[in-house]
A and B are shown apart, each in its own frame.
Chain A
Amino acid sequence: QVQLVQSGAEVKKPGASVKVSCKASGYTFTDYYIHWVRQAPGQGFEWIGWINPKSGDTNYAQKFQGWVTMTRDTSISTAFLQLSRPRSDDTAFYFCARVGYYYDSSGPFDCWGQGTLVTVSS
Chain B
Amino acid sequence: EIVLTQSPATLSLSPGERATLSCRASQSVSDYLAWYQQKPGQAPRLLIYDASHRATGTPTRFSGSGSGTDFTLTISRLEPEDFAVYYCHQRSNWVTFGQGTRLEIK
A114 at the interface (CB under 8 A from B): yes
Give the number of A-B contacts (CB < 8 Å).
Answer: 51
Which residues of B are found within 8 Å of A45, using beta-carbon distances?
Answer: 44, 87, 89, 97
The distance in angstroms between the C-alpha atoms of A108 and B97, with both chains bound, is: 12
Given A95-B43, A100-B46, A100-B49, CB of A108 within 8 Å of CB of B95: no
Q: How many residues of B contact A (CB 8 A)?
A: 22
Main SS at interface, chain B? loop
B99: min CB distance to chain A, Å: 5
The distance in angstroms between the C-alpha atoms of A115 and B40, with both chains bound, is: 12
Interface residues of B in 17-48 (CB under 8 A from A): 32, 34, 36, 42-46
Given A107-B91, A108-B91, CB of A47 within 8 Å of CB of B49: no
Interface residues of A in 98-122 (CB under 8 A from B): 100, 106-110, 112-115
Interface residues of B in 41-79 (CB under 8 A from A): 42-46, 49-50, 55-56
CB–CB B43/A106 < 8 A: no
Which residues of B are found within 8 Å of A115, using beta-carbon distances?
Answer: 43
Which residues of A are found within 8 Å of B89, using beta-carbon distances?
Answer: 45, 108-109
CB–CB B44/A109 < 8 A: yes
CB–CB A44/B97 < 8 A: yes
Given A108-B55, A108-B89, CB of A47 within 8 Å of CB of B46: no
The distance in angstroms between the C-alpha atoms of A106 and B31, with both chains bound, is: 13
Residue of B nearest to A59 (CB): B94
CB–CB A44/B50 < 8 A: no
Task: Identify the 5 closest CB pairs spanning chains A and B, nearest first.
Answer: A108-B49, A112-B43, A47-B95, A45-B97, A108-B34
Q: List 27 A-B contacts (CB under 8 A).
A: A37-B97, A44-B97, A44-B98, A44-B100, A45-B44, A45-B97, A47-B94, A47-B95, A47-B97, A61-B94, A95-B44, A100-B46, A100-B49, A100-B55, A106-B32, A107-B49, A108-B34, A108-B46, A108-B49, A109-B34, A109-B36, A109-B46, A110-B55, A110-B56, A112-B43, A114-B42, A114-B43
Residues of chain B having any CB pair with chain A under 8 Å: 32, 34, 36, 42-46, 49-50, 55-56, 87, 89, 91, 94-100
